[in-house]
Each structure stands twice: as structure tokens, then as C-alpha cells.
Amino acid sequence: HSQNVPRFLCPYGLKSLVECISRATLLSKPADIPNFLVEYLLEVIHFRCSNVNHEAGDKDVSFH
């Protein structure tokens, strides 16, 4: 391991969010990627806000 390579910590949840965004974008093949990402993330936020009773560790609810 080189001492000159900077190391960054990834905030919890960021990696899985980027994976989900990437997968959704590749599957949808949108013509306007920035607008697609805005709409997708707004749906994610709405989904999370409407399911506040579920704990972060619950796996029985999924966002599609």
C-alpha cells in the first residue's frame, strides 16, 4: 500500500445509493440522464419519507 495515495471514507449508504442510481440509469436508458436522476432521487426521497416507520435495517420493503 502506497503512503502517497489519499484515502477517503465513503459515508454510510452512499455506495448502495450510487449502485442503485447506476442500475436504474442503465436499465432505463434515459435520453436526459440529469433529469432522470433528479426524478429518480425525488422518488427515492418520497419513498423514504412515506415509510418512516420502518427501521433502517428492515429489508422487507424495497424501492423499485
Measured distance between the N- and C-terminal CA atoms of the chain, rounded to whole angstroms: 39
Asked whether the predicted pLDDT for residue 4 surpasses 90, the reply is: no
Q: What is the arithmetic mean of pLDDT over 2-19? A: 85
**Measured CA angle at 33 (ends 27, 39), to 5 deg:** 85
Share of the chain above pLDDT 70, in %: 77
Mean pLDDT of 32-56: 87
pLDDT band with cut points at 50, 70 and 90 for residue 32: very high
Which pLDDT does position 45 carry in this prediction? 92
Taking only Cα atoms into account, the Rg of the chain, rounded to an integer number of angstroms, comes to 15
